[in-house]
Each structure stands twice: as structure tokens, then as C-alpha cells.
Amino acid sequence: MSEKVEATEEGEGSFAEEGALVRALEEKVRALEDELGFFRALADELPLSLYRKDREGRCVWANAALLASVGSGLEEALGKTVYDYYPRALAEKYDADDRHVVQTGEVFQGVEEHKAPAAGGSRYVEVKKAPVRDPEGAIIGSMGIYWDVTGARRAERLEEERQAQAATLRELGAPLLPLAERVLAMPLIGRIDGARAAQALDSLLHGVSERQVAVVLLDVTGVTTVDGEVVRLLVDAAGAVRLLGARVVLTGVKPAMAQAMIEMDARLEGIVTLSTMQAGVAWALARRK
């Protein structure tokens, strides 16, 4: 009788342990489902497009932003490829990038032009793609994320254009013109500020050094404002050019500039001053050797 009781108690204990194990597993499953639900909800709220594909490029999962951009629901998108949604040229590129990730295990990242079917028009996106691995480390697909960087890209291009225009204006404001063998002219026009003075002096010295110039004509006929920056440029240019073995001829000096130079006590030793550019050219051609 006691043996039957003990067997019954052991059976009940075994059932109890199994029940506790089942409940623990169910709790873990619910916790995992809650966690998965949280991350999927979070992914759907992000202003980013995310996806996962199998090794053949078929959709396994995508978030709300990506699905909205292609005008599809998740159930409809499952098993589809990029060829079902994008122009062929783009689809071939996207598919090639995904296959490269799957075959090599390398991460792909870059900025590229993108056309979303439901959005209309093109935009620039930054893309990152990586392999998906199973618990043993084997690659079973790819995953990717991309986001719109059109505004930043346009801002970069506008800044590049602005810098290019500024450089062009600087060059136009202090052009270096070859007049004859070993003779250069730099006509200065407009207002000379610190930045323009530095750029003009740098351009002048490079031109003198590269072309083995003997005479440089600095024409100030078009300078509108006479201040310390102009006088400093002339003095610095004369000294630096002289160190390179050339001479500076200053032409087009007006009475106001001459007066300003005297008041500023400008040291113009070594600078030849002539009234016109034509006179300066004649002087330079006679002495360039």
C-alpha cells in the first residue's frame, strides 16, 4: 500500500515539475513575443526604411516606412523582390549589392540616388546593408537600412557651388596675366580686403616662381578703396617678389592713393611707379632680361 502511495506521489511530483516547466517556457515565449512586438513597433515608428531578405533576395520582413514608400502591405510584400517594385536599372543595382553582401559577408554602405514608387521623383539616401546569420554563423540572408539625405546632399552641393563661385570671383578679382616672356601683370580691381590681399599675394608668388618671371606689373587703376590692406599688399608683394629675383612695377597710382601711402609711411623701396599700364609694359619689356 505504501509503495502505491509513493508511486502516486512521485507521479504527481513529475506532473507538477512538467507543468512548472511548461509555464516557464510559456512565460519565456510571451516575453520574447512582447520583445519582438516592441522592436517591430519601434521599427515602424522610425523615419527609416528597414528590411530583411533571404539569400535569394526575397522579402522576409520590412518596416512601415519602407512598405509605404513602395505602396504595399507586409503580407503582400513577403516573398517579393526589388524587381517587383523598382525600375529595372535600380533593381539590378539593389539586387547586386544584396547578393554581394550575402556572398562575401561584407557590409555595404554608401549614398546613392533612390526612386521610391509611391513617393514620386528621386532622392538621395544613405544605405547600409549587412549579412544575416543563423546561430551557427552561416549567412542566411541580408538586412538593410536606408534614410533620406536629400536635404544634406543638396546643401553640400550648394556649398560646393558657392565655394567654386567664390574661387572664381577671387581669381577674377586678382588675375595673373602673362604679357610676354618673363613678364606678368596683375590688375587689381575693386575693394581689396584681407582675404583678397592674401589670395593675390599667394597667386603672385606662385606665378613668379613657376614661370621664372623677371618683372611683375601691379596695376591699381581699378582699386576703389585705399586703406591699410592695399598698402600692405603692395609692400609685401614688393619684398617677396624681390626675394624671388624679380622686380615690381606699380602702375595706375592715383593722387588719393599716393597721398594715403605717404600718410601711412609705406616703404616702397624697390618698387618702380609709373602712371599707366602701357608705360609699365614698355619699361618691363626693356628690362626683363
DSSP readout, 108-173?
EEEEEEEE-TTT-SEEEEEEEEEEEE-TTS-EEEEEEEEEE-HHHHHHHHHHHHHHHHHHHHHHHH
- Contact between 246 and 204 under an 8 Å Cβ cutoff? The reply is no
214-243 pLDDT, tens per residue? 888 888 888 777 677 777 777 888 888 888
Cα atoms found within 13 Å of the Cα of residue 165, Cβ hemisphere only: 6
Q: Of the ranges 69-78, 117-126, 189-198, which one carries the lowest mean pLDDT score?
A: 189-198
Q: Tell me what pLDDT residue 173 has.
A: 56
Grid cell, residue 195, equals: 582675404
Residue that wins the pLDDT comparison between 231 and 65: 65
Which DSSP state fits 81? -
Residue 104 has pLDDT above 90, yes or no: yes
Residue 188 has pLDDT above 60, yes or no: yes
Query: Strand 139-148 vs strand 59-62: parallel, antiparallel, or unpaired?
Result: unpaired
Distance, CA of 188 to CA of 230 (rounded, Å): 10
Q: Tell me what pLDDT residue 187 has.
A: 86
Distances in whole angstroms, Cα of residue 2 to Cα of each of 5, 7, 16, 118, 125: 5, 9, 21, 77, 77
Task: Give the residue-averaged pLDDT of 73-87.
Answer: 94
- Write down the pTM of the prediction: 0.50
Residue that wins the pLDDT comparison between 60 and 179: 60
At 4 the three-state DSSP class reads helix
Distance, CA of 236 to CA of 93 (rounded, Å): 57
Q: Tell me what pLDDT residue 208 has.
A: 87
Of the candidates 222, 199, 224, 214, the one whose C-alpha atom is nearest the C-alpha of residue 246 is 214
- Determine whether 191 is exposed, middle or buried from the number of CB atoms within 10 Å of its CB (0-12, 13-18, 19+): middle
Residue 22's pLDDT band (cuts 50, 70, 90): confident
Q: Tell me what pLDDT residue 250 has.
A: 87
Average pLDDT score over the chain:
83
Distance, CA of 163 to CA of 137 (rounded, Å): 49
- Contact between 49 and 145 under an 8 Å Cβ cutoff? The reply is yes
Task: Give the residue-averaged pLDDT of 40-68.
Answer: 89
Residue 66's pLDDT band (cuts 50, 70, 90): very high
What share of the chain has pLDDT > 70, as a percent?
A: 87
Residue 75 has pLDDT above 90, yes or no: yes
Of the candidates 143, 104, 108, 101, the one whose C-alpha atom is nearest the C-alpha of residue 126 is 108
Task: Give the residue-averaged pLDDT of 139-157.
Answer: 88
- Determine whether 253 is exposed, middle or buried from the number of CB atoms within 10 Å of its CB (0-12, 13-18, 19+): buried
Domains, the chain, in order of start with CATH, read 17-153 (3.30.450.20), 173-287 (3.30.750.24)
Grid cell, residue 53, equals: 531578405
Buried b (16+ CB within 10 A) or exposed e, 200-211: bbebbbebbeee
Cα atoms found within 13 Å of the Cα of residue 240, Cβ hemisphere only: 17
Residue 256's pLDDT band (cuts 50, 70, 90): confident
5-18 pLDDT, tens per residue? 455 555 556 666 77
Q: Of the ranges 33-47, 117-131, 142-156, which one carries the lowest mean pLDDT score?
A: 33-47
Task: Give the residue-averaged pLDDT of 172-176.
Answer: 66
Residue 258's pLDDT band (cuts 50, 70, 90): confident
Residue 210's pLDDT band (cuts 50, 70, 90): confident
Residue 3 has pLDDT above 60, yes or no: no
What share of the chain has pLDDT > 90, as a percent?
A: 30
- Contact between 62 and 78 under an 8 Å Cβ cutoff? The reply is no
Grid cell, residue 259, equals: 597721398
Cα atoms found within 13 Å of the Cα of residue 98, Cβ hemisphere only: 25
